[in-house]
Amino acid sequence: MKPRRVLFVTVGTTVLTASNLGALGEGDPEQLRREAIDFDDGAIPKPDLYERVLAAHEAFWNSGLSVFENRYDTSAEMASSFYALRVQGNEKLFDPKKDRIVLLSSQTDACLFCANVNEQLMRKHLFHPPCDGERATYVEVVKGLQAKEAGFADSIVASIEEFWNCHYPLEEIIVNITGGFKGTIPALTWRCLKTDTSKTACSMFYTHETMDRAETITFSLDSKPRYTGAIIT
């Protein structure tokens, strides 16, 4: 069954590189950050790293602290998606029976690790009620994201087209390009521009770590893309 709304999220590695990771969790946050950075740099992780990193992020999201003021405690993907659904969307959290979140990852071990952590956080904190058994979230691997001397591979466009068609919703598409490898942005922008917005609303969303607002680009077949900012509190 097609979802009502879908949020595509490009995924990077800020799950591992968040500068204040583990500040609210149990254990030694400095040790956790060192292990997380080492894994992002290519080291083999300890068997329990996933559970410890996920627990550290959960501790922040369960704390009730301001997301903007404490954004370095968690991932860029979670913070920015929270802004999109709780601030720009006027607290329109997703319905697990009607809506869908699709995380777009590269093929690297670190990025897939981060996509899976983000997926678990989003299932609990970006849906109301939280996801239980519903298949409301997906991790999709975008082929060709590893930059080479000749640039990114053309397979990126084919991957985006495949996932776009697979998860195409009934009412609204939101694309969060805050995190992740920027090689996806041209393909996602191209796909947004091709969307028949008379039938399906389409917007792209970005937040820089230093911004006190979230910028949304609304697409329309009949007019130029339009930027709208929302103040984050």
CB 24 within 8 A of CB 59: yes
Contacts of 86 (CB under 8 A, 6+ apart): 93
What are the percentages of helix, strand and coil residues in the chain, rounded to 5? 35, 20, 40
CB 178 within 8 A of CB 10: yes
The share of the chain scoring above pLDDT 90, in percent, equals: 72
CA distances to 2, 5, 172 from 63, rounded to whole Å, are 34, 28, 31
What the chain holds in terms of domains, given with CATH numbers, is: 5-15+67-231 (3.40.50)
Alpha carbon of residue 141 to chain centroid: 13
pTM: 0.92
pLDDT at 119: 98
pLDDT at 231: 43
pLDDT at 226: 77
Per-residue pLDDT of the chain (233 residues; tens, 9 = 90+): 899 999 999 999 999 999 999 999 889 999 999 999 999 999 999 999 999 999 999 999 999 999 989 999 999 999 999 988 875 555 668 999 999 999 999 999 999 999 999 999 999 999 999 999 899 999 999 998 765 555 556 789 999 999 999 999 999 999 999 998 888 999 999 999 999 999 999 999 898 888 756 688 888 777 777 777 544 43
Beta bridge partners of 226: 218
Backbone angles phi, psi at 201, to 5 degrees: -65, 145
Contacts of 151 (CB under 8 A, 6+ apart): none
Report which residue type is found at 200.
T
- At 25-67, the pLDDT tens digits run 889 999 999 999 999 999 999 999 999 999 999 999 999 999 9
pLDDT at 152: 59
pLDDT at 151: 53
Contacts of 62 (CB under 8 A, 6+ apart): none
How would you classify residue 24: left for phi > 0, otherwise alpha for psi between -120 and 50, otherwise beta? alpha
- At 186-204, the pLDDT tens digits run 999 999 999 999 999 999 9
pLDDT at 188: 95
pLDDT at 53: 98
Write down the H helix ranges in 41-170.
49-61, 76-82, 109-125, 155-166
pLDDT at 93: 86
Spatial distance between the Cα atoms of 104 and 138, rounded to a whole number of angstroms: 9
* Site of tokens 């090689």: 183
